Amino acid sequence: TREPSIYAIGDVIDRVALTPVALAEGEIVVQSLFSQSNIDMNYKNVPTTVFSIPSLGTVGLTENKAVELDLDVDIYTTTVNPLKHSLSGREEPALLKLVVDRPTDRVIGLHMVGPDAGELVQGFAVAMNCGATKADFDKTVGIHPTLAEEFVTMRTKRKVAIEAASR
């Protein structure tokens, strides 16, 4: 706030309205007050999930937001039935998507609808905050058979035509 002795966190500051974000903001306030440190909150690549069936996990920019920002992006998507269900014959398809900034090759968005989406997206959020590129994903050996391996084996891309998307 503009008042030096008043701090605000959480939903009232109109940033990312998630409980873990408010907790992190509170921790930063405590650090600022009692240890004289000046830590900034990192609002970039905050992962979130919807605990539905199927669950949804997301971190970074969506394809639509990237287009809105006039970014030159490649999109990688796949739909799979998790291999863990192959013996049972159970159908529980998952949709996975990567949004990659073409000029830098950085992964700027990662999205998933399917089982354990929140668990999967959390780890990839760390990678994205470390600047992971699509090339980093490509040279990572996946754990087989997992859904996470699908993110590191995506090879088919489509370029988003910014001009066409803005019409």
Q: Which residues are catalytic?
A: 144
Could you tell me the CA-to-CA distances from 62 to 31, 67, 99 in Å, in that order?
Answer: 32, 9, 7
**Three-state secondary-structure class, residue 151:** helix
Could you tell me the CA-to-CA distances from 89 to 53, 86, 92, 146, 150 in Å, in that order?
Answer: 18, 5, 9, 16, 19
42 burial level (CB within 10 Å; 0-12, 13-18, 19+): exposed
